[in-house]
A = this chain, B = another copy of it.
Amino acid sequence: MREDFTGWCKTVQSQMEAALLSHLPATSLVPHTLHEAMQYAVLGGGKRIRPLLAFAAGELFDALPDGIERAACAVEMIHAYSLVHDDMPCMDDDDLRRGKPTVHKKYDEATALLVGDALQSQAFELIAGGTLDAERKVVMISRLARAAGSLGMCGGQAIDLDSVGISLTRQALEQMHRLKTGALLEASVMLGALAGKSLLDNEELALRTYSSAIGLAFQVVDDILDATADSATLGKTAGKDAASNKPTYVSILGLNESLALAEKLRQDAHEALLLFGDAAMRLRELADLIVQRKT
């Protein structure tokens, strides 16, 4: 009998905790503080949405554990580095992350800067290692680099910073989020899948459509939660976007239409997976989780 979704998530999350620890430099290595701070930034928290996506996509194509783990750890390290840098005073200036002091508060700004920089390198080193064939590793690295860089996550972050206090159209808001969060969520799905096999065109297209829908849904729900939940529940400062006058789906569409949009995107994600039948159950459940989560 197949494990239920909640059980599967817990299994993956605890497997990830061990995998991340094993793929980060040991704190016994010099420089000790940097390695300790890297572990602080990555371990012991977070919903691990990106690893869950990588695992679900990897299992869809019967990827081996080492390949899935490397893909999942790499995307999570990129995500963790982006949080460390985004929290810094020159960006979002946040003191709280996953219910704990942010890296620059716990350590200092210089350490936070280096933690992020080193985590990014570590992500690429991780994929370059392992036993997958070199061709697939290169595709994975290329995808991850593109998703992380100026035409992906960093680019989205730059647009976000430029748009504070400006009234964005829904289209411009969508483009920002496609880059800022969507690109790495898509890379999580793609790298997980590539850990299993090279993708056929129709598989690639289906997974892209799925990723695109959940990527946007993720952001819409983030905006809904930022507007409706409290800091203690979120483990980070709530109401931050409204306070800093950042455009959000809720500010542009209103709460009810945002909720309807999230539900529509969930259905789009399900539809994109029809090609894979039952085997895509976990990806379907993750789309539901992303839309129905409370934190």
- A145 in contact with B121 (CB, 8 Å): yes
Contact of A121 among B35, B109, B120, B133 (CB under 8 A): B120
One of B33, B116, B139, B161 near A158 (C-beta < 8 A)? B33
Distance to closest chain B CB from A206 (angstroms): 24
Q: A25-B151, A38-B150, A128-B138 are in contact. Are A90 and B118 (CB under 8 A)?
A: no
- Give the secondary structure class of A's interface: helix
Separation of A149 and B144 alpha carbons in the complex (Å) = 17
Bound-state Cα–Cα, A114 to B159, Å: 11
Is A85 an interface residue, CB under 8 A from the partner? Answer: yes
Closest-CB distance, A31 to chain B (whole angstroms):
4
Do B114 and A117 touch across chains, with their CB atoms under 8 A apart?
no
A274 contacts chain B at the CB level, 8 A cutoff: no
A237 sits at the interface (CB 8 A) = no
Determine which residue in A38, A141, A144 has the highest number of CB atoms from chain B within 10 A of its CB, and name it: A141
Is A120's CB under 8 angstroms from B117's CB? yes
Closest to A139 in B: B128
Which chain B residues border A157 with CB–CB below 8 Å? 114
Closest to A24 in B: B150
B142 touching A125, Cβ below 8 Å: yes
Q: Are B90 and A110 in contact (CB under 8 A)?
A: yes
Those 5 A-B pairs whose CB atoms lie nearest each other, nearest first: A121-B149, A90-B109, A125-B145, A134-B134, A128-B142
By a beta-carbon cutoff of 8 Å, the part of chain A in contact with chain B is 25, 29-31, 33-35, 38, 81-82, 85, 88, 90-91, 108-114, 116-118, 120-122, 124-125, 128-129, 133-135, 137-139, 141-142, 144-146, 148-152, 154-155, 157-159, 161-162, 175
**What are 29 A-to-B residue pairs whose CB atoms are below 8 Å?**
A30-B155, A33-B162, A34-B150, A38-B150, A90-B108, A90-B109, A90-B112, A90-B113, A114-B150, A114-B157, A114-B161, A117-B117, A118-B150, A120-B120, A121-B145, A121-B150, A121-B152, A122-B145, A122-B150, A124-B144, A125-B141, A125-B142, A125-B145, A128-B139, A128-B142, A129-B142, A133-B134, A134-B137, A134-B138
